[in-house]
């Protein structure tokens, strides 16, 4: 929340949902030919909880959603639902990258992530203030947690759509080492 109102001498109290509703990880995956794959959103919460059962069906289709207690990409998420089965059916082996291998395993970290984050920031700045949620709550300074999550997901999807296949291919050509 941007503003906290409390009595003079009292303590400002925040609910856990208000404090951590922005906690989310977006896993962006691309192929060498420039095709962007759907985003995997990892949301802070409990598997089988309210977010998992009530909110997931309302999130935009065409992307994947997982729950993790801290919104981290860990072994729990790798095993989530049918992901490994689906990968095996289409002929892919999924493995967790080794520790301290980011530089070698993720060469596009800078050339793709920097523009993606720039698009996110630009969309956030250009975004209208959230007027109200479905319950008619007009508290624009601190919208409900599920509204925040949905807004962040939609913003990330729009930013991901702005990354072009040509940009991806050029990034691969720049990142892959060339023999000298």
Domain boundaries in the chain? 17-175
Comparing 113 with 128, the larger pLDDT belongs to 113
Give the SS3 label for residue 22: coil
Predicted pLDDT at 1: 46
Residue 75 has pLDDT above 90, yes or no: no
- Which candidate, 70, 65, 81, 82, places its Cα nearest to that of 149? 65
Facing residues of 133 across strands? none
Question: 105-111 long-range contacts, Cβ below 8 Å, gap at least 24?
Answer: 107/172, 107/175, 107/176, 108/30, 108/168, 108/171, 108/172, 108/175, 111/171, 111/174, 111/175
The rounded percent of the chain whose pLDDT value lies above 90 is 17
Mean pLDDT of 98-108: 68
Mean pLDDT of 152-179: 88
Residue 11 has pLDDT above 90, yes or no: no
Cβ proximity of 31 and 24 under 8 Å = no
**Which residues lie closer than 8 Å to 160 by C-beta, 6 or more apart?**
28, 36, 39, 116
* Structure confidence at residue 3 as a pLDDT band (50, 70, 90): low
Predicted pLDDT at 99: 73
- Which candidate, 134, 6, 119, 54, places its Cα nearest to that of 143? 134
- Return the minimum-mean-pLDDT range out of 55-59, 66-70, 71-75: 71-75
Residue 54 has pLDDT above 70, yes or no: yes
């Amino acid at each position: 929340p941007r503003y906290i109102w409390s009595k003079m001498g009292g303590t400002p109290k925040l609910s856990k949902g208000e404090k951590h509703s922005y906690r989310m990880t977006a896993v962006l995956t691309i192929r060498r030919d420039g095709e962007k794959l759907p985003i995997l959103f990892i949301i802070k919460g409990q598997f089988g909880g309210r977010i998992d059962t009530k909110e997931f069906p309302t999130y935009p289709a065409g992307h994947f959603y997982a729950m993790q207690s801290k919104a981290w990409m860990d072994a729990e998420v790798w095993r989530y639902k049918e992901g490994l089965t689906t990968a095996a059916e289409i002929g892919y082996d999924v493995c967790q990258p080794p520790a301290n291998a980011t530089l070698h395993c993720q060469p596009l970290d800078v050339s793709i992530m920097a523009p993606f984050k720039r698009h996110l920031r630009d969309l956030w700045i250009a975004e209208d203030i959230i007027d109200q949620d479905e319950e008619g709550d007009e508290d624009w300074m601190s919208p409900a947690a599920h509204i925040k999550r949905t807004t962040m997901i939609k913003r990330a999807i729009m930013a991901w759509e702005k990354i072009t296949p040509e940009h991806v291919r050029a990034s691969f050509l720049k990142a892959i080492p060339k023999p000298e």
